[in-house]
Structure 1
Amino acid sequence: MFPLAKTQKSAPRRGTTTLIVTAMLAVVVGFSAISVNVLLHMRKAAWELARQSSENLASTLDADIRRNIDVYDISLRAVVTNIMIPEIGELSPAIRHLILFDQAATAKHFGPLKVFNAAGHLMIDSSALEPAPDRAVNREYFQVHRTDENGGLFVSHPAADAKGEMAVYLSRRISGTDGAFGGVVVGSIRLSYFHDLFRRVKLGPEDSLTLIHRDGFVVMRSPFDIAMVGRDLRGVVGIERIRSEQTGWLEAPGAVDGVPRQFVWRDGGGPLVTLLGKSLASIYDPWQSDAAWILSAMAVLAIVATGASILLAREMRKRSADEHRFALLSITDGLTGLANRRQFDDILQSEWLRNQRNKTSLALLLIDVDYFKIFNDTYGHQGGDRALKQIATTIRHEVQRAADCAARYGGEEFAVILPEATIESAQMVAERIRSAVQAISLDGAHITVSIGIAAVVPASNWQPAELIAATDAALYNAKDAGRNQCRSARPLTPAPGQGSAGLSARSAGDRITAAAG
């Protein structure tokens, strides 16, 4: 047994040692946790960046494909319309060709337009005044249109044309005045168009780019493999999601080589789906290099860290959290949780300058609760507060982009800032909000909103107040027109030689006149 004096001296020493050891262990654990958290966020960010890049590329490709299909479909529609002219059969072949195919789209990848009668016989060919005999009664597009009266535009699976080149066929039904099947007008887009389009896209060694028919058949693939054209993928993992959802992403092994990929797809609602597959290895390789460096650095810092530094770091984190909380409280509306008027003004000014630099459109919504005073008088202030909270939640749910800002503008007024948004996209957001609010039921009570919409590409001689004034005028038009509706302002246009002062000097009557009815 130790003497009392020795025990008393050892106790503080052991306590100090324990504190140091505990502090160092806390440093190791803390820095390890931070490192793991940072790495996980970096890994997620790498995945998300790859997804966004793939989605942008897929959207661009889909827009190009859709535009060409729409252009070709216009030609098909023109032929379907003109072929129904009663006197068309009495004209000479040359005049008939001029009427039917004068506005037909032409390009090196577009095939000729052909008209088959109800029996499947070729009657008219845009490439020849005297068409060679041909019959389409057994072809896919003919069978589809003969049985489907309301099929609209039909895009076939890949098939060989008369010259042996692979193509997809675009066709429309010809119906008589009584709705009876009168034949088919058909054209084709050669697969060389899709091949040339995909070839211009720079892919990684293990990446893939595939164009899939909505039925699940492959139209084109890059890297190109002729064996893949026309292949049925309906049994492949995830293909049902790709066929049923217009936009999405998933991780799955490649159908050809089994390489794990991040697949992102995009289509504009048509029969063809653009599917971009990026290998997970190419996504995570840069992250793995950074992760090794960060883990090494964190290990060294954890070893040399001291108890004082970890205590100081904890104090600093606490102070930072408090400051963040106080800062958040200063810019948040206490009732709805949306941005308050001060934050709205700051963000509008910031986005105005940013959109001005980028020369992009900035949209604004002003939302006013209809008959809110009557609602408040009927259900009390607590009922009114619950209604405002529910409306705020609905607005927050419908305003989906990270850069958008929803704010409480005043008592029962809300505002939504939509950076880089056109008047058309702002109208879609406004209508979603209006419909969602109309569907709210508060103990059997319903409430509606009126919404004013305006958009402008900010110029250096304009001010945000001009946008607010135009939106406010559109809101008053919506309320004057009966409420529970959205109204858009016409574009703001300064008079020649006028700066912002000239714009601001316009009367309120001029502003209201500028709003669309």
Structure 2
Amino acid sequence: MSAAAEPRARKGHRDPSRLVIPTIGLVVAGFCAASVAMLNDIRQDTWDRAITGEGNLRKALSQDIARSLETYDLSMQAVADGVAEPELPRLSPRLQDMVLYDRSALGRDLGALLVVDATGKVLRSSLPAAVGTDVAGRDFFVAQRDAADRGLFVGAPFRRGSEGEEVVGLSRRLHTPDGSFAGIVAGTIRLSYFRDLFSKADIGPHGAITLVRRDGICLMRMPSATSCFGRSFAASPNFRAYIAGGSALFTGTAANDGVRRIYDFGTVGDLPLVLSVALAEDDVFAPWRAKAMALAVALTTLCAAAAMLGFALSRQIRRTAAAERDSSASEDQYRLLADHALDIIMRLDRALRRSYVSPAVRAVLGYAPEDLVGSTPRGIIHPDDWSSVLNVIAAAQETGGSAEATYRLRHRDGHYLWMEGRYNSVPGDGGFIVLLRDVTQRKAAEERLAALNAELAAVASSDALTGLANRRRFDAALAEEAGRAARDGTPLSLLMLDVDRFKLYNDAFGHPEGDACLRAVADALLTVVRRPSDLVARYGGEEVAVLLPGTDAAGSLRVAERCRAAVAALKRPHPGNAACGGVVTVSLGCATLDAGDGAPADAAALVSLADARLYEAKRTGRDRVVAHGAVLPVLPLPPDEERRLAVLAHYDAGGATARSPRLDAIAEIAARLLGAPVGFVSLVGREEVTLAGCHGVEMRRFPRDDTYCAHTIQGDDPLVVPDTRADLRFTENALTRDGVGFYAGAPLVSPLEGRRLGALCVVDTEARAALDAHQRALLVDLARLAVEDLERRRLGLDRAAADSGSEAGTEAGPVAA
């Protein structure tokens, strides 16, 4: 470039430092805009989650209130139907009360059920003290007297008694045969029921929940306010907006406290009640405001830091540009030397003597160039690598081109460096141009990477919780050892181990303690299994596999017993494992792959046999080792098991399987009539048996494998076991060892597809004579009563479906009758 051209070029050159500040400003502005957009999204998401949660809370509360009132209403309707029954007067007063009044009507927040004549006088009551009371002036009596088709009436709240207990009355009309007014069936519900229900809801410090009648009379408001008791909200703008047919979800300001809230109104089922849940806007958006404030502080800090960085970067760019201009004059001259400054260049003749060595050798290997000129490379090449160098030289000579290898050269102070050498053949004279580059650091990095990969491979083959080998490593080791055993004719043994009743352990102590238990079991096993060739692996869940190459059946049995004893020696408390001493124990199954008769044929068969023997160890009492002999057959699952469980889930979804006082009474009657100390109504699930009613027993759940009920649901007739210790099916049963000597149970047959839900059972600690025909029939009849209670509660909780003529409602007719 000429001297005249250079100033023109510099004049046209734009200073890049001028673009730094605007660029950083654009980046920061974009980030701020994105942050604002994000805050808007978060605010909208906060709003959406608030109204969704508010709606879900209102629906849940509405369902709870509707279920409670409808259940109480069912009891009132049952009283009305009973009063109309012509056979009722023939019964004794005690039986009349048993027919009329359901125990469910005597709950903690429910008042007595009253039968009132046409004049307002109480004729009957579930609490005798109320008989003779005059309720003619109560609105729940007047409303039914003045309207023939009123249905269920919910009265205004009032205070009763000397203590001023707050209650609300409910009533249903009684008709004479000709349809005229014959009185009412009435009851009361304490407002404390609604107060307790609403107090469990999380609505924030300024939220509110209000339950009113359709005419605006307030029944309950949370937070509680004495001024709201019986107050009419009919004139409230928010209530008028809802009644007028507007949106059930809107934002408004409360007239009583001036708080702006998000309101969600809705009716309570088919009842003449309206429930509103209102969350305060300040409560809803408080977390969002905190995030917005934190983000604003962060953005302010970021902008300040970006400004400082921009100024510093701009100044550095100007300095760098000045330095580049100063060195541009000599850049071309030294470019070639800069490119090869760290590489050593050598010239070798035909005899491999050095005729030239570049000055870079001093910085890399510590030698002066003249120290190496005239000698051959072998003197400083590592003895183990000389053959590799000869192969490279031969390859370069043969092809007439270049070849390369990585080998070690001795530094002047004695240590070796890894060098990458490229040998280029010089045509004509048989010599070479050699380019040497120091790759010691790269080689060290490669070695570290290889070690890291090996470490990662070891981690990938280990179980993160216990530190044992994982399932993948076990499968690979099993295949490898099975192949070696087949080739060498050596035995291969496998132990399958399972922690006894581990689900009950988790239920009692929680999953973190369950994880600690598994780690303790793993550590105990590793103290026993210590040969390098053996492998202890977590097979899945609480199941562990122990692979023992070169170990025969007798040796595997000894190892298994030591494993069992090592775990038992931990003495880790396990209340759910009371049959095995109340401590954590394990059951083991052993199998050996060898040339003997009856041995498994391959690795898959080895696992299958060890697993089957493990199951046999658990089935025959747990805390034991099963290593040989035929595995006893186990009771098969019913062919329709999945469908049976689906029907049982249908009852459970409606809450019909919860413990019932009526089922407790049936269990007590069965025990007393059959002269047994224990009676219960069981529901057989997939893994557990749950007691929905019981007498003489405290536990609510038992493992399915340990109960007799799993056998009872297999047939249509009662299962009677006079002496459980003499019956081969139950001699090793945990309940038999715990003291059960006699058992009798009749299956609970549901009207839904005839599926068996469980059993009505009586149990004695001693063996007894078998039941006679009359006793069996009595047990079957009581089982039917238990099913009727389950069915009544299932249909009672789904009354709306029954009234609409659904399939469930069709089934309700004969059962309710």
Please tell me the residue identity of whatever aligns with 1:280. Answer: E
SS in 2 for 1:234: coil
What whole-Å deviation, never above 9, does each CA across 1:443-469 have from its counterpart, x for those lacking one? xxxxxxxxxxxxxxxxxxxxxxxxxxx
Q: Secondary structure at the match of 2:236?
A: coil
Q: Which runs of 5+ in 2 are unaligned?
A: 1-6, 311-648, 651-751, 756-817
* Structure 2 counterparts to residues 479-494 of structure 1, below 5 A: none
1:94–1:129 CA contact under 8 A, matched in 2: no
Name the structure 2 match of 1:146.
Answer: 145
1:12–1:167 distance in 2 versus 1, CA, 3 Å: farther
Match of 1:179 in 2: 179
Cα 1:152–1:32, aligned 2, differ >3 Å: closer, same or farther? Answer: same
Name the Cα RMSD after superposition. Answer: 4.0
Flag the structure with larger Rg. Answer: 2
- Residue 124 of structure 1: how far off its partner (Å): 2.0
- Give CA-to-partner distance per residue, 1:84-142, whole Å, 9 cap, x none: 22354566654543332255621121111112222333222221188224142x32122
Change in CA separation of 1:245 and 1:107 when aligned onto 2, cut-off 3 Å: farther
Aligned residue identity for 2:159: A
| 3-state SS of 2:237 partner | coil
Structure 1 equivalent of residue 721 of structure 2: none
Superposition pairs of residues 4-15 of structure 1, within 5 angstroms: none
Q: Does 1:215 align with 2:220?
A: no
Deviation at 1:187, TM superposition (A): 0.3
| Corresponding residue of 2:157 | 158
Does residue 167 of structure 2 align to residue 167 of structure 1? Answer: yes
Provide the rounded CA distance (Å) in 1 between the counterparts of 2:292 and 2:301.
14
* Secondary structure class of the residue paired with 2:97: helix
1:232 CA drift (Å): 1.1
Give the partner amino acid of 1:229. Answer: F
2:283 maps to amino acid: S
Tell me whether 1:115 sits opposite 2:84 in the alignment.
no
Partner of 2:71 in structure 1?
A: 71
Per the TM alignment, residue 204 of structure 1 is displaced from its structure 2 partner at its CA by 3.0
SS at match of 1:220: strand
The Cα of 1:251 is off from its aligned counterpart by 2.0
Q: How do 1:30-429 and structure 2 match up within 5 A?
A: 30-88=30-88, 93-102=93-102, 105-128=105-128, 131-136=131-136, 138-162=137-161, 164-243=164-243, 248-266=248-266, 267-299=268-300, 301=302, 304=306
* Contact kept in structure 1, 2:123 and 2:131, CA below 8 Å: yes
Whether the 8 Å CA contact 2:105–2:112 is kept in 1: the answer is: no
Write the distance in 2 (CA, Å) between the matches of 1:205 and 1:121.
Answer: 46
Q: Which residue of 2 aligns with 1:365?
A: none
CA shift in 2, pair 1:45/1:104, >3 Å: closer
SS in structure 1 at match of 2:105 = coil
Q: Deviations over 1:38-63 (max 9, x none)?
A: 11111122222222333333333322
Indicate if the aligned counterparts of 1:215 and 1:243 stay in contact, CA closer than 8 A.
Answer: no
Q: In 1, are the aligned partners of 2:265 and 2:274 still within 8 Å (CA)?
A: yes
Query: What SS class does the counterpart of residue 86 from structure 1 fall into?
Result: coil
Q: CA offset at residue 73 of structure 1? A: 0.6
C-alpha distance in 2, partners of 1:189/1:240? Answer: 27
Change in CA separation of 1:10 and 1:270 when aligned onto 2, cut-off 3 Å: farther
Q: What is the CA-CA distance between 1:241 and the residue it aligns to?
A: 4.7
Distance 2:246 2:58 in 1: 12
Worse-superposed segment, 223-232 or 202-211: 202-211
Aligned residue identity for 1:237: P
Q: Does the C-alpha gap of structure 1 residues 10 and 29 become closer, same or farther in structure 2, counting only changes over 3 Å?
A: farther
2:107 alignment partner, SS class: coil
1:235-262 CA-partner distances (Å, limit 9, x unpaired): 2232135457899432222343112222
Deviates further, 168-177 or 247-256: 247-256
1:157 aligns to what SS in structure 2?
strand
Q: Distance in 1 between matches of 2:124 and 2:161?
A: 15
Quickly say closer, same or farther: Cα 1:7–1:170, change in 2 above 3 A: farther
Do 1:76 and 1:186's aligned partners in 2 also have CA atoms closer than 8 Å?
A: yes
- Matched residues in 1 for 2:134 and 2:92: separation? 21
Give the direction of change, closer, same or farther, for the CA distance of 1:102–1:222 in structure 2 (3 Å limit).
Answer: closer
Q: Secondary structure at the match of 1:170?
A: strand
Distance 1:263 1:12 in 2: 66
Q: CA deviation at 1:15?
A: 12
Structure 1 Cα separation of the partners of residues 34 and 219 of structure 2: 47
CA–CA distance in 2 between the matches of 1:215 and 1:124?
31
Q: Does the CA contact (< 8 Å) of 2:241 and 2:247 recur in 1?
A: no
Per-residue CA distance 1:186-209 (angstroms, 9 max, x = gap): 101011222222333455332223
- Contact 1:216–1:243 (8 Å) recurs in 2: no
Q: SS of the residue aligned with 1:155?
A: strand
Compared CA separation, residues 9 and 260, structure 1 to 2 (3 A):
farther
Q: Which residue of 2 aligns with 1:344?
A: none
Distance 1:178 1:14 in 2: 106
2: CA distance between counterparts of 1:237 and 1:12?
A: 73
Partner amino acid, structure 2, of 1:284: F
**1:438 equivalent in structure 2:** none
Which is bigger in relative contact order (C-alpha 8 A, separation at least 6)? 1
- Asked if structure 2 preserves the Cα contact closer than 8 Å seen for 1:210 and 1:221, the reply is yes
Q: Distance in 2 between matches of 1:274 and 1:246?
A: 15
CA distance in 2 between counterparts of 1:122 and 1:68 reads: 24
Question: What number of residue pairs does the alignment pair up?
Answer: 308
Given that 1:97 and 1:129 are in contact with CA atoms closer than 8 Å, whether structure 2 keeps it comes out as no
Residues 142 and 219 of structure 1: CA distance in aligned 2, closer, same or farther (over 3 Å): same
Which residue of structure 2 aligns with residue 479 of structure 1? none
Q: In structure 1, what is the Cα distance between the partners aligned to 2:124 and 2:134? A: 10
Of residues 105-114 and 293-302 in structure 1, the stretch that sits farther from structure 2 once superposed is 293-302
After TM superposition, the structure 1 = structure 2 runs for residues 439-458 of structure 1, keeping only pairs within 5 Å, are: none
Change (3 A) 1:9 1:269: farther
* Alpha-carbon distance change, 245 to 167 in structure 1, aligned in 2, over 3 angstroms: farther
In structure 2, relative to structure 1, the CA distance for the partners of 1:235 and 1:33 (3 Å cut) is farther
Partner Cα distance (2:187, 2:177) in 1: 23
Q: Which amino acid aligns with 1:169?
A: G
Determine if contact 1:27/1:302 at 8 Å carries over to the other structure: no
Quick one: structure 1 residues 168 and 108, their matched pair in 2 at CA, closer, same or farther if it must change by over 3 Å?
A: same
* % identical equivalent positions: 32
Code of the residue aligned with 1:156 in structure 2: it is G
Letter matched to residue 153 of structure 1: L
SS of residue paired to 1:216: coil
SS at match of 1:146: helix
